[in-house]
Amino acid sequence: MQSAAVESRPNSLGLPKPPQETRVVVAMSGGVDSSVVAAMLAEEGYDVVGVTLQLYDHGAALAKKGACCAGRDIHDARRVAETMGFPHYVLDYENRFRESVIDEFADSYLAGATPVPCIRCNERVKFRDLLETARDLEADCMATGHYIRRFDGGAGPELHRAADPARDQSYFLFSTTPEQLSYLRFPLGHLKSKAETRALAARYGLPVADKPDSQDICFVPNGSYAAVIEKLRPGAADPGDIVHIDGRVLGRHEGVIRYTVGQRRGLGIGGTVDPLFVIRLDPDTRQVIVGPREALASRHVPLAEVNWLGDTPFEAAPPEGWEVAVRVRSTRPPKPARVRPEPGGRATVELLDAEEGVAPGQACVFYAPEGSRVLGGGWIQRS
């Protein structure tokens, strides 16, 4: 009886069986974070299967350091698997990635939005297609190197911000569904710093222990969005007017895709007394509309494709809406707000204090007013 009781205790991944009987697919990008996750679980005795996705033709990216899933990264992931002694597979997801992420990225920019392709990649490729592959491999769960925490709450799995605020990736994972969350694990979310992760990599003797972090979107070399979009959509950089919100034409531009809401530098309209910012983009008229900083302020933010991770159904909000904190950009702290549900997976966020540079195409992520819980979010629409 005692032996049976011991065996039924949850393992470190919260599953009711010994590690050696638990198969875990680890999504390996070739970087230090996912490599440490795979090594950590292998050392604990789990049946680890490493999987790396080839997301685009990496031949052109071989010289680009730190790019996710480039040829060097696939090689690095394979070396980690060899070091720790578990199987590793490379899956060709190029077509899925192009259709689900790259094409929408280009079309969103052409529509005057500022997209976040890393969220779409998590949502549509890693946590959908790869997750199904993990199930096909009869894995009990899938683990990633994201800095975020998952807890088992009274109403099911909960998503929480990482212990290290500087590494927290909750903004990029807001669209994770409850069903996906029940299958996913994030072993690094409790670490207090990236230094801890690198120390673990060194302890395991991993060849990527000192590898630099990736800074760019994996398919955008050197952060040049416009160059990528021009390649994907020839003719996308048609010139047009730079127009003040009062109607004055101040100059010309070389393509709406070269500008983002809130931008101040590089407008090419010298001679103005007060600083001007990009207020909005109008791809139909090919206009970049600029104005003073105060014109950037917004208090009402329309959202679509809302994903809700609260315990109560989203539609059951009180008349005044859900009280939350929201983040409208990945680099900004959460601010107090109310979210009012609308039909068709839409919502309107009312910010208690106006935010500057709220841009269509970005995510608006919901957090509990107190504590670390992530309550979901949605995609910012044009007002």
Residues 48 and 39: their CA atoms lie apart, in Å, by 9
121 in active site: yes
The first and second tokens of residue 380, run together, are 């910012």
In this prediction, residue 70 carries a pLDDT of 56
Contact 64, 71 (CB under 8 A): no
Q: Where are the alpha helices (DSSP H) in the chain?
A: 2-7, 32-43, 71-84, 94-97, 103-110, 117-121, 131-136, 178-183, 194-203, 225-232
Contact 380, 332 (CB under 8 A): no
Contact 101, 124 (CB under 8 A): yes
CA nearest to 156, candidates 177, 140, 135: 177
| Phi, psi angle pair for 218, to nearest 5° | -60, -35
In this prediction, residue 200 carries a pLDDT of 97
The first and second tokens of residue 78, run together, are 């394979």
In this prediction, residue 221 carries a pLDDT of 67
Q: In what order do the strands lie in the sheet with 249-253?
A: 249-253, 240-244, 287-291, 277-282
Contact 142, 183 (CB under 8 A): yes
Residues 325 and 365: their CA atoms lie apart, in Å, by 8
The first and second tokens of residue 360, run together, are 């269509």
In this prediction, residue 271 carries a pLDDT of 65
Question: What is the sign, positive or negative, of the torsion defined by CA atoms of 259, 260, 262, 266?
Answer: negative
Contacts of 344 (CB under 8 A, 6+ apart): 304
Specify the amino acid at residue 225: Y
Q: Bridge-partner residues for 330, per DSSP?
A: none
Residues 345 and 354: their CA atoms lie apart, in Å, by 24
- SS percent in the chain: helix, strand, coil, step 5: 30, 30, 40
Catalytically annotated residue among 68, 69, 218, 364: 218
- pTM of the entire structure? 0.90
Q: What is the DSSP string of 255-290?
A: -GGG--TT--TT---TT-SS--EEEEEETTTTEEEE
CATH numbers and ranges of domains, the chain: 2-222 (3.40.50.620), 237-291 (2.30.30.280), 298-380 (2.40.30.10)
In this prediction, residue 345 carries a pLDDT of 96
How far is Cα of residue 180 from the mean position of the Cα atoms in its chain? 15
The first and second tokens of residue 178, run together, are 């409850």
Residue 225 DSSP code: H
Output the tens digit of pLDDT for each of the chain's 383 residues: 444 444 568 999 999 999 999 999 999 999 999 999 999 999 999 999 999 999 876 444 434 444 444 588 999 999 999 999 999 999 999 999 999 999 999 999 888 898 999 999 999 999 999 999 999 999 999 999 999 999 999 999 999 999 999 999 999 999 999 999 999 999 999 999 999 999 999 999 999 999 988 777 888 867 778 888 888 888 778 899 999 999 999 999 988 888 989 999 888 887 677 889 999 999 889 999 999 999 999 999 999 999 999 999 999 999 999 999 999 999 999 999 999 999 999 999 999 999 998 999 999 999 999 999 999 999 999 87
Dihedral over alpha carbons 26, 27, 29, 34 (to 10 degrees): -40
Catalytically annotated residue among 68, 69, 121, 141: 121
Q: Where are the beta strands (DSSP E) in 262-372?
A: 277-282, 287-291, 297-308, 322-327, 335-342, 346-356, 363-367
**Owner of token pair 């060899």:** 82
